[in-house]
């Protein structure tokens, strides 16, 4: 019988818990004698995922959903028995705030790229010159060096011009990464657009040709939402995931100080209280700054993640329905960077996710914190709320105090995928493979910031080690 192997997992967010699940699954499927210990420094599991459920409300303090097309997350949700709890978002018009007015995102715009001429031609979002400049995309040649990484901003500005980027693409994309679009890596974040240019030359023509043909459906049949969440909130997924694992294998409130490579090829994890834990493999899912403190500095490529992760905050507010009279039909809005607002976006949560809100109530969830100005995130709750309400009054005419509100801060939570990110990750993993072959790095600092990206990263880390 082969010798029992022990895996130590550092970090109890979604990546760490998924890694533990896949280690256990691997052991069951292969019959390989495997055990694991998951160590989490805080007193709770789930990382950024944190749901408030009270008085019929289901409010997310962190991420509220995930992209349905990234099925690895749905598979894991089903694996832990919550498949019947999945719910899609309600679809509806999304808006952009420009010149302190809400403008519908032009119909047919795919991540800001126009695929229908008329809605784009008549939108007041852009000047005649801005629209004409976007039309250059139809004639511009593709880049000569399609293999090299460039910033998302550089790529789209070259093809569609500054106005379309600053007023439409930047607010749509920066909300996902909370970063500077002119430093964000195209290959790491939206490689599909580089592929579109490579294949079709023109982004407009390429996106038009590559859009799936919509089946003719009755007028009453609504378009299915692109996002999924759980009826009882994403914390129910964390709870189910942790319950699927042996209780004595998960330890919270344990801070790790160091990871040492032993002469026999195993690893010793040293805690802050001086205790140690020995393992054959280590999966590291901690934030990059924490990971750097645990290992020799020479393992990490110079310049990688030099830009600090950004901090953001959300403010979820409940109002009586009769106090929030806004006639626009839709699910929310994002804000062009040129606007002098504190908020960067607002989700009309009670419309986008009706299951989260009791009848007769309205929930609005606003976002604050920009890559270039994060001071507001550190302000007291009351100050943030006042600034948010001031903005909502100007934008939507909301002139009421919320019945209750929750300010949630995610400090240094959004790693910045700057130009060259993929090469940096490869160098880092090559360095670990050569010097610490039993250690795998997984999670948001490397393979994508969305929940399915973290799950997939965990799955690949387990496969690479086992």
CATH 1.10.3110.10-classified regions of the chain: 107-210
Long-range contacts (CB closer than 8 Å, 24 or more residues apart) made by 215-218: none
Q: What is the pLDDT of residues 174-220, one digit of tens each?
A: 778 888 999 999 999 999 999 999 999 999 999 999 877 655 445 55
Mean pLDDT within 351-364:
96
CATH 3.90.660.20-classified regions of the chain: 310-414
Assign domain 107-210 to its CATH superfamily.
protoporphyrinogen ix oxidase, domain 3 (1.10.3110.10)
Q: Is 8's pLDDT higher than 60?
A: yes
Q: What is the pLDDT of residues 381-410, one digit of tens each?
A: 999 999 999 999 999 999 999 999 999 999
Q: How far apart are CA 247 and CA 172, in angstroms?
A: 41
Q: Let me know if domain 5-47+245-306+418-465 sits in CATH 3.50.50.60.
A: yes
What is the DSSP pairing of strand 332-335 with strand 94-98?
parallel
Q: How many CB atoms lie within 10 A of CB 170?
A: 25
Q: How far apart are CA 85 and CA 241, in angstroms?
A: 14
Using a pLDDT cut of 90, give the percent of the chain over it: 88
Q: What is the pLDDT of residues 260-290, one digit of tens each?
A: 999 999 999 999 999 999 999 999 999 999 9
Confidence class of residue 152 from pLDDT cuts 50, 70 and 90?
very high
Q: How far apart are CA 378 and CA 384, in angstroms?
A: 9
The owner of tokens 């790095």 is: 441
Q: Is 350's pLDDT higher than 50?
A: yes
CATH 3.50.50.60-classified regions of the chain: 5-47+245-306+418-465
Q: How far apart are CA 266 and CA 406, in angstroms?
A: 45
- Report whether 253 contacts 41 (CB < 8 A): yes
Q: What is the pLDDT of residue 329?
A: 86
Q: What is the CA radius of gyration of the chain?
A: 23
Q: What is the pLDDT of residue 438?
A: 96
121: helix, strand or coil: helix
Q: Is 151's pLDDT higher than 50?
A: yes
Q: How far apart are CA 376 and CA 386, in angstroms?
A: 11
Q: How many CB atoms lie within 10 A of CB 396?
A: 19
Instruction: Sheet containing 66-67: give its strands across.
Output: 66-67, 227-230, 86-88
Provide the mean pLDDT of the chain.
Answer: 94
Q: What is the pLDDT of residues 21-65, one digit of tens each?
A: 999 999 999 999 999 999 999 999 999 999 999 999 999 999 999
Instruction: Sheet containing 101-104: give its strands across.
Output: 101-104, 94-98, 332-335, 343-347, 361-368, 310-320, 404-414
Q: What is the pLDDT of residue 179?
A: 86
Confidence class of residue 419 from pLDDT cuts 50, 70 and 90?
very high
Q: Is 141's pLDDT higher than 80?
A: yes
Q: Let me know if domain 310-414 sits in CATH 1.10.645.10.
A: no
Q: pTM of the predicted model, to two decimals?
A: 0.95
The helix or strand, by DSSP H or E, that contains position 318, with its residue range, turns out to be strand 310-320
Q: What is the pLDDT of residue 131?
A: 96
203: helix, strand or coil: helix
Q: What is the pLDDT of residue 371?
A: 85
Mean pLDDT within 74-95:
96
Q: What is the pLDDT of residue 327?
A: 78
The owner of tokens 């692109």 is: 226
Q: What is the pLDDT of residue 144?
A: 85
Q: What is the pLDDT of residues 64-73, one digit of tens each?
A: 999 999 999 9
CA 287 vs CA 278, 313, 425, 430: distances in Å: 22, 18, 14, 19
């Amino acid at each position: 019988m082969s010798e029992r192997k022990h895996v130590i997992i550092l970090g109890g967010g979604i990546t760490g818990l998924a890694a533990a699940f896949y280690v256990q699954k691997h052991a069951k499927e292969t019959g390989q004698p495997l055990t694991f210990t998951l160590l989490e420094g805080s007193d709770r599991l789930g990382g950024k995922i944190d749901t408030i459920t009270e008085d019929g409300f289901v409010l997310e303090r962190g991420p509220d959903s995930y992209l349905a097309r990234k099925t690895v997350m749905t598979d894991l949700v089903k694996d832990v028995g919550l498949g019947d709890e999945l719910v899609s978002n309600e679809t509806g018009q999304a808006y952009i705030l420009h010149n302190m007015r809400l403008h519908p995102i032009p119909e047919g715009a795919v991540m800001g790229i126009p695929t229908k001429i008329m809605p784009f031609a008549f939108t007041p979002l852009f000047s005649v010159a801005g629209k004409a400049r976007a039309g250059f995309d139809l004639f511009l040649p593709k880049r000569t060096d399609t293999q090299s990484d460039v910033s998302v901003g550089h790529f789209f500005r070259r093809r569609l011009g500054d106005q379309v980027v600053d007023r439409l693409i930047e607010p749509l994309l920066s909300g996902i990464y909370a970063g500077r679009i002119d430093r964000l890596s195209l290959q790491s974040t939206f490689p599909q657009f580089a592929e579109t240019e490579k294949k079709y030359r023109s982004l407009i023509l390429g996106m038009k040709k590559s859009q799936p043909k919509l089946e003719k459906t009755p007028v009453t049949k609504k378009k299915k939402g692109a996002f999924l969440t759980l009826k009882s909130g994403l914390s129910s997924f964390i709870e189910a995931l942790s319950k699927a694992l042996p209780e004595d294998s998960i330890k919270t409130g344990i801070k790790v100080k160091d990871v040492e490579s032993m002469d026999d090829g195993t690893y010793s994890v040293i805690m802050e209280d001086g205790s140690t834990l020995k393992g054959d493999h280590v999966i590291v899912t901690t934030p990059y700054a924490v990971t750097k403190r645990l290992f020799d500095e020479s393992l990490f490529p110079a310049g990688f993640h030099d830009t600090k992760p950004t901090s953001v905050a959300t403010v979820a507010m409940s109002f009586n329905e009769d106090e929030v009279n806004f006639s626009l039909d839709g699910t929310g809005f994002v804000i062009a960077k040129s606007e002098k607002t504190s908020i960067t976006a607002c989700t009309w949560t009670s419309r986008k996710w009706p299951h989260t809100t009791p009848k007769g109530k309205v929930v609005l969830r606003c976002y604050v914190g920009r890559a270039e100005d994060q001071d507001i995130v550190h302000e007291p709750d009351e100050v943030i709320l006042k600034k948010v309400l001031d903005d909502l009054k100007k934008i939507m005419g909301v002139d009421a105090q919320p019945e209750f509100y929750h300010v949630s801060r995610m400090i240094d939570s959004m790693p910045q995928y700057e130009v060259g990110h993929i090469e940096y990750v490869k160098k880092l993993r090559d360095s670990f493979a050569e010097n610490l072959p039993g250690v795998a790095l997984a999670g948001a600092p490397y393979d994508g910031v969305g929940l399915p990206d973290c799950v997939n990263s965990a799955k690949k880390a387990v496969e690479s080690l086992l």
